[in-house]
């Protein structure tokens, strides 16, 4: 049976939507913070190499690029979360349930996997 648009929106549904939005924001902040840590990793490896007298194989530019990509992923996550919150709120007001389509899920999973693989490779190459 389709939902009745005349049924008032329940507080639990609205609050769940707000909690989900806050989870998107926390994830976005974590991605930006992780990007900053990755970008600064090259500085740390240079200092350790200088203290130990070792020569670095790479100049650390990969860490800076990966850090910037992670920060951009954080920005995209915040924007997507805001869009998703507004879309879900609109659906709740009209009595519809708007589920997340498969496309954004697959794209975000692939993007995060690629960035994680790049970070792992970068860590393996820095010796």
More confident of the two residues 31 and 43: 31
Q: Which residues, other chains included, contact 103 with Cβ-Cβ below 8 Å and sequence gap of 6+?
A: none
In a domain, 113, yes or no: yes
Residue range 42-71: average pLDDT?
Answer: 75
Find the helix packing angle between 102-125 and 61-93, rounded to 10°.
Answer: 160
Structural domains counted in the chain: 1
Tokens for 95, please give them: 């009595």
Q: Which domain holds residue 100?
A: 11-125
Query: What's the chain's average pLDDT?
Result: 83
pLDDT value of position 82: 96
Q: Enter the pTM of the model.
A: 0.74
In a domain, 77, yes or no: yes
Residues 122, 45: Cα–Cα separation, whole Å: 12
For residue 59, what pLDDT band results from cuts at 50, 70 and 90? low
In a domain, 4, yes or no: no
Tokens for 107, please give them: 């794209």
For residue 78, what pLDDT band results from cuts at 50, 70 and 90? very high
Tens of pLDDT, residues 109-121: 898 888 888 878 8
How is 52-82 classified by DSSP, letter by letter? HTPPPSS-SHHHHHHHHHHHHHHHHHHHHHH
């Amino acid at each position: 049976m389709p939902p009745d648009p005349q049924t008032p929106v329940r507080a639990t549904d609205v609050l769940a939507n707000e909690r989900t939005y806050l989870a998107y924001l926390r994830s976005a902040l974590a991605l930006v913070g992780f990007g900053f840590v990755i970008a600064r990793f090259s500085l740390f490896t240079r200092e350790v190499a200088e203290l130990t007298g070792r020569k670095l194989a790479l100049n650390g530019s990969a860490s800076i690029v990966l850090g910037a990509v992670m920060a951009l992923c954080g920005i995209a996550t915040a924007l997507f979360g805001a869009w998703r919150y507004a879309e879900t709120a609109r659906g709740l007001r009209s009595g519809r349930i708007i589920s997340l389509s498969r496309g954004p899920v697959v794209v975000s999973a692939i993007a995060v996997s690629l960035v994680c693989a790049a970070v792992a490779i970068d860590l393996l190459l820095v010796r």
